[in-house]
Amino acid sequence: MHGNSSTTYQSIGNTTFGSDGTSQTRIGNTTFGSQGSTSTRIGNTTYNSNGSTSTQIGNTLYNSNGTTVNRIGNTTYGSDGTTCTKIGASTFCN
């Protein structure tokens, strides 16, 4: 999840709610965002409705815009300086 500074997320079932008012729901391999976006995962690659893609290799996610995200335990570190930590059903991002 990508959020603004100090955004928190709460997952309930297949839906994730952001403290910024956004939400997303996963049905099968497709995720539907509250702002009209969709993404579909096929194998290691996620195809987004805005034309971007992301490919996961091991613990690293490579985005088509050149950024990367590395996961270590419950924390993800973005090449843009963003970090998110999952604690239970909540995710906290800076």
Mean pLDDT of the residues in the chain: 91
What single letter denotes the amino acid at residue 91? Answer: T
Give the span between the Cα atoms of 59 and 72, in whole angstroms. 7
**Of 21, 43, 46, which Cα lies nearest the Cα of 31?**
46
Return the residue matching tokens 């579909």: 40
Length of the chain, in residues: 94
**Torsion-angle region of 35 (φ positive above 0: left; ψ -120 to 50: alpha; else: beta):** alpha
> DSSP 3-state assignment of 5?
coil
Give domain limits for the chain.
Answer: 9-40, 52-84
**pLDDT tens-digit readout, 1-40:** 554 457 899 999 999 999 999 999 999 989 999 989 999 9
Query: pTM, whole model, 2 decimals?
Result: 0.69
CA angle 80, 37, 69 (to 5 degrees): 25
* pLDDT score at 74: 94
